[in-house]
Amino acid sequence: MLMTNLNSLAIGEAAVITLLTAEVRLQQQLCALGFRPGRQVSVVRKAGFSGPLHLRMGVTEVMLRRREAQQVYVVSVEPEHDDETDCSVGGAEYR
């Protein structure tokens, strides 16, 4: 598992926060927003022209500047999905 920062995650990619390297005041603000080691975060969108990242942690969504996201280190996690999910609707089966 390779540790990287939030800026390098792709849209839709999920990761677990491992380390905050910001100054104390910014660390406190990030913690108040829910950025804590062990918490899972995913990228919803990336604004153009080096704009903020739209992130989701559970049911909470946050916009974070890229320079602040650069100080939040994460480890990528495998997406959860079922390849064997069957669904039948109106007699037709979907896989």
Residue 47 lies in a domain: yes
For residue range 62-82, list pLDDT tens digits in order: 999 999 999 999 999 876 554
For residue range 13-29, list pLDDT tens digits in order: 999 999 999 999 999 99
Which contacts (CB < 8 Å, 24+ apart) does range 25-34 have?
26/68, 26/71, 30/68, 30/72, 33/60, 33/62, 34/58, 34/60, 34/62
Domain count, the chain: 1
Q: Tell me, what's the pLDDT at 94?
A: 45
- Dig out the tokens for 26 from the structure: 């910014």
Residue 71 lies in a domain: yes
- 92 pLDDT more than 90: no
- Domain residues for the domain of 68 are 3-80
Which pTM was predicted? 0.78
For residue range 53-63, list pLDDT tens digits in order: 999 999 999 99
Q: Tell me, what's the pLDDT at 78?
A: 75
Residue 93 lies in a domain: no
